[in-house]
């Protein structure tokens, strides 16, 4: 469904992605794991059109999307909940969700009900300023907002970062639920074990290049992955 072919991206003067190729099939959860600075976020920002690849091709259902501006990428059905949540703090919860649905893809009322169904706490806090929410609630809002554009593919960057363990498992359950609802997910995580347990397939990224790929089960059993990312 989404395919990256030999993507090179510069972040400032540094080449952050050195020829990344990966593929995500419809209905999958694919995790992208790697250490800090390996290029995970750069990869998502390149897919979202915030960074332009200097080389390579990104296709969605066969059509080229690299080089499109970010709002066109969202329009084509790819939505991202970036690292650090980045909710709009001085907008209400409802307004944040409204902005998530800015392009009017899908029926706003229906999607809103679905998001409120997944995260009932957002419905309770609907007219509260988003900046006053707790960290976990902000993460729910960030994911909820990214669902408001009715994406076919959801890019999640470190959704568990900085959350209490109980909230982490709730977020992972939610990702599973969203995927079961028909949304394809590309999950970037430092919490490699939880990510691989949840996903169907995985890629390991090191220094801007894919070094390992395979089914999540294989990766969980891989000796290198176990020592480098699972802390075993």
Partner 1 sequence: MLLQQFINGLTLGSVYALIALGYTMVYGILELINFAHGEIYMLGAYLGIIILGFLTAIGLTAYSLPLSIFIMLALTVLFCSSYGFTIEKIAYKPLRNAQRLSPLISAIGVSIFLQNYVMLTQGATDKVFPQVFGSAGFELFSTRITYLQAAIITTSGVMMAMLHVFVMKTKTGKAMRSVAQDKLMASLVGIDIDRVISITFILGSGLAAVAGIMVAMYYGLVNYSIGYSAGIKAFTAAVLGGIGSIPGAMLGGIVLGILESFGSSYISSEYKDAYAFIMLILILLVKPEGLLGKRGEEKI
Residue ranges in contact with partner 1 by CB under 8 A: 48-50, 69-71, 74-75, 79-80, 82, 86-91, 95, 98-100, 102-103, 145-146, 148-149
Shorter beta-carbon distance to partner 1: residue 10 or 88: 88
Shorter beta-carbon distance to partner 1: residue 51 or 225: 51
What is the closest distance, in whole angstroms, from the C-beta atom of residue 67 to partner 1 in the complex? 15
Helix, coil or strand: residue 125: coil
What is the closest distance, in whole angstroms, from the C-beta atom of residue 158 to partner 1 in the complex? 15
Shorter beta-carbon distance to partner 1: residue 157 or 189: 157
What is the closest distance, in whole angstroms, from the C-beta atom of residue 88 to partner 1 in the complex? 5
Q: Which two tokens stand for residue 70?
A: 């970010």
- Chain length of the chain: 232
Shorter beta-carbon distance to partner 1: residue 66 or 80: 80
Whole-number Å distance between alpha carbons of 32 and 172: 15
Shorter beta-carbon distance to partner 1: residue 100 or 208: 100
Whole-number Å distance between alpha carbons of 163 and 17: 28
Shorter beta-carbon distance to partner 1: residue 80 or 216: 80
Q: To the nearest 10°, report the CA torsion of 143, 88, 17, 187.
A: -10
Whole-number Å distance between alpha carbons of 28 and 179: 7
What is the closest distance, in whole angstroms, from the C-beta atom of residue 78 to partner 1 in the complex? 10
What is the closest distance, in whole angstroms, from the C-beta atom of residue 169 to partner 1 in the complex? 26
What is the closest distance, in whole angstroms, from the C-beta atom of residue 118 to partner 1 in the complex? 18
Contact, 172 vs 198, CB < 8 A?
yes
Q: To the nearest 10°, report the CA torsion of 19, 142, 108, 181.
A: 70
Helix, coil or strand: residue 21: strand
């Amino acid at each position: 469904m989404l395919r990256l072919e030999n993507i090179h991206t510069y972040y400032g003067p540094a080449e952050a992605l050195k020829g990344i190729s990966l593929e995500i099939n419809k209905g999958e959860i694919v995790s992208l794991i790697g250490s800090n600075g390996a290029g995970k976020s750069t990869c998502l920002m390149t897919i979202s059109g915030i960074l332009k690849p200097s080389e390579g091709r990104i296709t969605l259902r066969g059509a080229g999307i690299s080089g499109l501006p970010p709002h066109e990428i969202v329009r084509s059905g790819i939505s991202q909940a970036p690292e650090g949540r980045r909710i709009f703090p001085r907008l209400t919860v409802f307004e944040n969700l409204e902005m998530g649905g800015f392009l009017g893809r899908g029926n706003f009322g229906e999607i809103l009900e679905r998001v409120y169904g997944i995260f009932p706490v957002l419905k309770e806090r609907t007219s509260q300023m988003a900046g006053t929410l707790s960290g976990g609630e902000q993460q729910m809002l960030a994911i909820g907002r990214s669902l408001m554009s009715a994406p076919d593919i959801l890019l999640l960057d470190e959704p568990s970062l900085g959350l209490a363990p109980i909230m982490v498992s709730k977020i992972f359950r939610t990702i599973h639920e969203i995927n079961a609802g028909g949304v394809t997910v590309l999950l970037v995580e430092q919490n490699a074990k939880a990510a691989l347990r949840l996903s169907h397939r995985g890629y390991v990224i090191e220094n801007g290049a894919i070094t390992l790929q395979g089914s999540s089960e294989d990766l969980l059993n891989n000796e290198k992955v176990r020592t480098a990312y699972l802390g075993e």
